[in-house]
Amino acid sequence: MSDATKPLLQLRDTKISYGAIEAVKGISLELAKGELVSLIGANGAGKTTTLNAIAGLLPVAGGEVLYDGAKINALPAHKRLRQGLALVPEGRGIFTRLTVEENLRMGAYCRRDSDAIEADMERVFTMLPRVRERLQQVAGTLSGGEQQMVAIGRALLSRPRLLLLDEPSMGLAPLVVEKIFEVIRSVAAEGVTILLVEQNANLALEFSQRAYVMESGRITLTGSGADLLADPKVRAAYLGE
């Protein structure tokens, strides 16, 4: 398999546990370089657990996590970030007592290319002009939508090759969600590989090239976003029909 066709991310029979409780029960999935793939399912299905394990925030109890062809089961989260694997966590996870600028620069803490960091700051401001307007504001005083923009901007400052997005629309007004997904589309268009967990299954499937459906810690269905949007079982279970 050539480098161009080799998956950037692979999970092979991956199991993730909380003590004696097996939350993810041996799932397999993969993302090709440049793909936008969504992972949908009900609350408690194991989606956030999966993203946290990929990012290195949770240990893997079995199976393999491969990134760019190399097994990373034991690789610490900060080393995964240095290799271009970034997470925008559920609930945003911003540093509420730091300014917006300080939050953004935390995303680049592994980098030493100061000129390129400044160029990437400008890129974030172009995508998210509201962030520039709030640059010296304490992040905890921002609205939920503004905090989500900062969380995405912080991840982009790490120059990710693989971006994990966990519930980016949660709790946000429709107009803000529209803006957030415009940014996601722009990032994907630049060639960044994206794995998206999103409560709005309809929106996620519309945006995604492919998707996986997760139920009770297992992958139960996979297909193109368009095919899953048209699937009666998916529509009944996740699209309210």
The CATH superfamily holding the domain 33-47+83-238 is P-loop containing nucleotide triphosphate hydrolases (3.40.50.300)
Helix (H) or strand (E) holding 199: none
pLDDT of residue 6: 82
190 by Cβ neighbours in 10 Å (0-12 / 13-18 / 19+) ranks as exposed
Q: Which residues of the chain are modeled with pLDDT < 50? A: 1-2
Reference 39, options 214, 162, 164, 203; nearest CA is 214
pLDDT of residue 180: 94
**CA-to-CA dists, residue 50 to 89, 124, 196, 205, angstroms:** 12, 27, 11, 19
pLDDT of residue 10: 98
The one-letter amino acid at 174: P
Listed by start position, the domains of the chain span 33-47+83-238
Helix (H) or strand (E) holding 56: none
Residue 236 and residue 234: Cα distance in Å, rounded? 5
Residue 107 and residue 157: Cα distance in Å, rounded? 5
CA dihedral 122, 194, 172, 167 (to 10 degrees): -140
CA dihedral 139, 144, 128, 37 (to 10 degrees): 120
pLDDT of residue 241: 58
Contacts for 81 with CB less than 8 Å, ≥ 6 apart: 110, 158
**pTM, 2 dp:** 0.94
